Amino acid sequence: MQEIPKPSNKQPCHPLDDLIRTDRIPHIWCPGCGIGTVFSSCLAALKGSGINLRKTVMVSGIGCSGRAAGYVNLDSFHTTHGRAIPFATGLKLANPELNIVVFSGDGDLFAIGGNHFIHAARRNMDMTVICVNNLNYGMTGGQVAATTPYLAKSTTTPVGNPETPFNLPLMAYACGATYVARWTMLHIRDLTDSITEAIGKKGFSFIEALSPCPVNYGRRNKQKPLEMLKVYQEKAIIKNDADPSTLDIDFEKGIILGKFVDVDRPTFIEHYDKIYRPSRLQESVPGLNS
């Protein structure tokens, strides 16, 4: 009978350790928080996609999800609340060779940052936006957000949310994003595949990743983190190419996941180069009239 090789006494190296700032681990996210899983999935996608990591930049805003930029061992920018996308726009326009990943939360990207999101999607700025949707403003203690379900409790809607939430994939689709997908932090392999596809694709890609928020949203709405994962498992309906207008999240009827939009359109830089800097246009781009 063979001996099972024992792990060496030296601290073993997690396969993603070269992509994280190990001197800052353990990170600040709560036990059971899904941001760590989505972040891990994103790093696995970055590694597996084969893109030039030296030219890859992560930009984030303010909030729990925004802290991801502080943990990734790449060029990373932790900007002001809601302004990750325009900052990323400036980075990309200054150096079009950069691969930009915007990793931020639902409040940062769609409330204060909503205007920037819709315009970057409209322009088809070449970047991948990963939105960790935990249905509230987690970092500040659990306030209502643009994605908080109707009647849910939060610290600023203590008796129940009077507003209805956004349908994020519909918004992304309506604004012109060329890749739109939604997964949960339980569907890690699908999420990693989506992120890999999105990174490798030029244009504005948007991926929504649902996550529990055990300490804030979960506590106030009687959702233990493991229970939420069971809900994701049981209520998930994977329906690629679903009509984005049917994608409102309904925890009773079902949460539709999948890849909903995957089209090709010339990016802002391609249009700009065609009109203003024709010498930069290397090859003909489908969709750009010659």
Partner 1 sequence: MDFWRVPLDADTIQVSLGIVHILEDRCKGCGYCIEYCPKQALELSTKFNQKGYHPPVVVKPEECVNCHYCEIICPEFAIFSVESPPITEPGRAGTHPNSAIKVR
Partner 2 sequence: MKPAVLTGEYFMTGDVACAEGALAAGCRFFGGYPITPATEIAERMALRLSHVDGCFIQMEDEIGAMAAVLGASWGGVKSMTATSGPGFSLMMENIGLGICTETPCVVVNVQRGGPSTGLPTHGAQSDMMQARWGSHGHYEIIALAPSSPQEIFYLTITAFNLSEKYRLPVLIMTDEIVGHMSEKVIIPEAKLIEIVSRPRPKGRKDRFKPFAPGPNGVAPMPAAGEGYNLHITGLTHDEKGYPVMAVETQTEMMARITEKIQRNLDDIIRTDDFLLDDAEIVVVSYGVSARTSMAAVAEARKLGIKAGLFRLVTIWPFPEDQIRKLADRVKGFVTVEINLGQIHREVERCAGGKVPIFLVGHPGGTIIHPDSVVNLLKEAF
| 3-class secondary structure, 188 | helix
CA terminus-to-terminus distance, the chain: 70
Bridge-based pairing state of the strands 255-262 and 236-238? parallel
Of the candidate residues 15, 90, 160, 287, the single one contacting partner 1 (CB under 8 A): 15
Asked whether position 188 contacts partner 1 by CB under 8 A, the answer is: yes
Beta bridge partners of residue 99, listed in sequence order: 56
Of the candidate residues 9, 95, 146, 229, the single one contacting partner 1 (CB under 8 A): 229
Quick one: tokens of 130? 């990963």
Q: Which does 55 bind (CB under 5 to 8 A by kind): partner 1, partner 2, none?
A: partner 2
- Looking up tokens 């229970």 gives 227
How far is Cα 162 from Cα 149, in angstroms, rounded to an integer? Answer: 9
How far is Cα 245 from Cα 50, in angstroms, rounded to an integer? Answer: 34
Of the candidate residues 10, 23, 26, 290, the single one contacting partner 1 (CB under 8 A): 26
Q: Which stretch binds partner 1 (CB under 8 A): 14-22, 158-166, 264-272, 279-287?
A: 14-22
Asked whether position 141 contacts partner 2 by CB under 8 A, the answer is: no
Asked whether position 163 contacts partner 1 by CB under 8 A, the answer is: no
Asked whether position 66 contacts partner 1 by CB under 8 A, the answer is: no
Q: Which does 40 bind (CB under 5 to 8 A by kind): partner 2, partner 1, none?
A: partner 1
Residue 124, Ramachandran bin (φ over 0: left; ψ between -120 and 50: alpha; else beta): left
Judged by beta carbon, residue 279 or residue 289, the one nearer partner 2 is 279
Q: Which stretch binds partner 1 (CB under 8 A): 114-122, 145-153, 182-190, 266-274?
A: 182-190
Helices vs strands, H then E, count in the chain: 9, 8
Three-class SS of 215-266 = HHHHHHCCCCHHHHHHHHHHHEEECCCCCHHHCCCECCCEEEEEEEEECCCC
Q: Which stretch binds partner 2 (CB under 8 A): 33-41, 90-98, 226-234, 258-266?
A: 90-98
Of the candidate residues 38, 64, 68, 88, the single one contacting partner 2 (CB under 8 A): 88
How far is Cα 212 from Cα 177, in angstroms, rounded to an integer? Answer: 26
How far is Cα 44 from Cα 60, in angstroms, rounded to an integer? Answer: 18
- Least distance from partner 2 to the Cβ atom of residue 88, Å: 6
- Least distance from partner 1 to the Cβ atom of residue 54, Å: 22
- Least distance from partner 1 to the Cβ atom of residue 129, Å: 21
Asked whether position 18 contacts partner 2 by CB under 8 A, the answer is: no
Asked whether position 47 contacts partner 1 by CB under 8 A, the answer is: no
Q: Which does 97 bind (CB under 5 to 8 A by kind): partner 2, partner 1, none?
A: partner 2
Peptide bond into 165 cis (omega under 30): no
* Position 84, amino acid: A
Asked whether position 278 contacts partner 1 by CB under 8 A, the answer is: no
Q: Name the site residues for partner 1 (rule: CB under 8 A).
A: 1-5, 7, 11-12, 14-17, 20, 25-27, 29-37, 39-41, 44, 185-186, 188-189, 192, 225-226, 229
